[in-house]
Amino acid sequence: MMGESKNWILMATARAPTNIAVIKYWGKRDEALILPINDSISVTLDPDHLSATTTVAVSPSFEKDRMWLNGKEVSLSGGRYQNCLRELRNRAGEYTDENKGIHIEKYDWNTLHVHIASYNNFPTAAGLASSAAGFACLVFSLAKLMNVKEDLSQLSTIARQGSGSACRSLYGGFVKWTMGNEMSGSDSIAVQLANETHWDDLVIIVAVVSSRQKETSSTSGMRESVETSSLIQHRAKVVVPSRILQMEQAIRNKDFSSFARLTCADSNQFHAVCLDTSPPILYMNDTSHRIISIVERWNRHEGTPTVAYTFDAGPNAVIVAPNQKVAMDLLQRLLFYFPPARDNELSSYVLGDKKILHEFGLESLSSIEGLQPPPEAKDKGLAQRYGGDVSYFICTRPGKGPAILVGEDQALISIQTGLPK
Ligand code: DP6
């Protein structure tokens, strides 16, 4: 194969975003291929604030496939990693770099081993879905390294086999995962509905809710729902198909009130299906419920949906505002109800895009202490504050899809040793 030397190392680095579903994926019809029972739609979040970065390396000197996640070695023996690696090796192309004396034939990829190093730019302990960004990034970077000549929709079918929601992280903006009909899964792909510039007024605030509880994983939770919930069938067959059409239209027309109504209703129905599962699955906690009440009360007071909330398989809230102005009103409410625990700096309490804080002069802890209750709570005795119930907030927006990062300084693996830096 590749010349005399065994010393060369070839690498690729990529960054891929997370996504938040506004019409949820919940339930599989095929566990191994990860084929869903309904379509879903998501918004890709700005990778500057929530993303995975992955470097993949190949060398004839590597003795086996290895992976490090946030600096710690993890096993690649799981079926999901193996399926992604196999699918990519099957599609790998030949590669030549005459300067470095590297020549790799298509079939060489079956015997060459890879090293993978990945890290998330947000705390993993936060319970924010990291598998979507992680698998999207793994597939995107390996496709680059292995010279896979497939379009993003084909790559999405590979990422899907790592984690269902990962297929939607192959694109920026607004993304639909079509469930497909084929047994092989070939038509269960992600498609972009609109890119990140289409509706760039939106502001997204993630509330990372403190929780001590170990949650049921999405994978086992949705399996139990499929086995025991009767509501899930009605949802998949009747409710979701019509919501998908309405959501596509709301996104196309940038119709925020429809977008918000559908997003909240679908999150609530997903959690209703969880409650309809036996034994019931409770992902939201008191703080999550409080956030729903605050938003619902505010929306009712305004007479129209001002912001939208959605919750995945955990207590964290993702709240979408139509623009900066409303986002600031939202953040003031959130900081009023959930001030930081004592000793917490504001700079480590509101993360991500801080522009929003600075613009409105909310720069010190004392400015938060002095916040007044919002008008809809003023004379109703609803002004109780819950310090410490939120760990921190991340301000972000719709973002772009995966990208290759060039330059050795961006790589997580050393070109000298082939190991994490
Ligand atoms: C609630 O994609 O994590 O976030 O396919 O088993 O890996 P697997 O599950 P996963 O499930 C995500 C479920 C959800 C809703 C969504 O993202 O659509």
The pLDDT tens digits of the residues spanning 89-121 come to 999 999 999 888 899 999 999 999 999 999 998
State how many domains the chain has: 2
- The residue contributing the CA closest to ligand 1 atom 14 is 312
Decide if 5 is inside a domain.
no
Q: Which domain holds residue 150?
A: 10-195+403-410
Do residues 189 and 264 share a domain? Answer: no
Decide if 39 is inside a domain.
yes
CA distances from 340 to 203, 349, 366, 386 (A): 21, 7, 11, 9
Do residues 214 and 173 share a domain? Answer: no
Do residues 122 and 243 share a domain? Answer: no
pLDDT for res 130: 73
366 or 338: which leads in pLDDT: 338
Tally DSSP H helices, then E strands, for the chain: 11, 19
Whether the per-residue pLDDT at 211 is higher than 80: the answer is no
What distance in angstroms lies between residue 37's CA and the mean position of ligand 1's atoms? 12
What distance in angstroms lies between residue 205's CA and the mean position of ligand 1's atoms? 20
2 or 41: which leads in pLDDT: 41
Judge if the upstream peptide bond of residue 322 is cis by omega within 30 degrees of 0: no
Task: Residue 152: count other Cβ atoms within 10 Å of its Cβ.
Answer: 18
Percentage of the chain exceeding pLDDT 70: 94
State which of 18, 24, 165 you would mutate to test the pocket of ligand 1, scoring each by most atoms of that ligand within 8 A of its C-beta: 165
pLDDT in tens, 21-70: 999 999 999 999 999 999 999 999 999 999 999 999 999 999 999 999 99
Least confident of 119-123, 145-149, 182-186: 119-123
Decide if 236 is inside a domain.
yes
Decide if 1 is inside a domain.
no
8 Å CB contact between 92 and 109: yes
CB of 25 shorter than 6 A to ligand 1: yes
Do residues 191 and 317 share a domain? Answer: no
Q: Dihedrals φ, ψ of 259, to 5°?
A: -55, -45
Do residues 263 and 187 share a domain? Answer: no
The answer to whether ipTM exceeds 0.90 is yes
How big is the CA angle at 46 (ends 42 and 50), to the nearest 5 degrees?
Answer: 95
8 Å CB contact between 118 and 67: yes
CB of 299 shorter than 6 A to ligand 1: no
Averaged pLDDT, 269-282 = 98
What distance in angstroms lies between residue 203's CA and the mean position of ligand 1's atoms? 23
Whether the per-residue pLDDT at 129 is higher than 70: the answer is no
pLDDT for res 19: 97
| Mean pLDDT of all residues belonging to the chain | 93
Quote the tokens at residue 366: 């004392």
8 Å CB contact between 378 and 198: no
CB of 246 shorter than 6 A to ligand 1: no
CB of 313 shorter than 6 A to ligand 1: yes
Do residues 82 and 220 share a domain? Answer: no
Do residues 300 and 385 share a domain? Answer: yes
Do residues 164 and 276 share a domain? Answer: no
Task: Residue 237: count other Cβ atoms within 10 Å of its Cβ.
Answer: 11
Do residues 382 and 233 share a domain? Answer: yes
What distance in angstroms lies between residue 110's CA and the mean position of ligand 1's atoms? 30
Decide if 261 is inside a domain.
yes
- The residue contributing the CA closest to ligand 1 atom 4 is 312
Do residues 164 and 140 share a domain? Answer: yes
Do residues 338 and 369 share a domain? Answer: yes
CB of 36 shorter than 6 A to ligand 1: no
Least confident of 5-14, 140-149, 405-414: 5-14
CB of 219 shorter than 6 A to ligand 1: yes
Whether the per-residue pLDDT at 348 is higher than 90: the answer is no
Do residues 319 and 220 share a domain? Answer: yes
What distance in angstroms lies between residue 186's CA and the mean position of ligand 1's atoms? 19
Quote the DSSP letter at residue 234: H
Decide if 99 is inside a domain.
yes
CATH number (domain holding residue 39): 3.30.230.10
Burial 354-382 (b: 16+ CB within 10 A, else e): eebbeebebeebeebeeeebbebbeeeee
What distance in angstroms lies between residue 185's CA and the mean position of ligand 1's atoms? 17
Decide if 419 is inside a domain.
no
pLDDT band at 196; cut points 50, 70, 90? very high
What distance in angstroms lies between residue 165's CA and the mean position of ligand 1's atoms? 5
What distance in angstroms lies between residue 217's CA and the mean position of ligand 1's atoms? 9
CATH number (domain holding residue 239): 3.30.70.890
Decide if 81 is inside a domain.
yes
CB of 176 shorter than 6 A to ligand 1: no
What is the distance of C-alpha 7 from the center of its chain? 37
pLDDT in tens, 287-322: 999 999 999 999 999 999 999 999 999 999 999 999
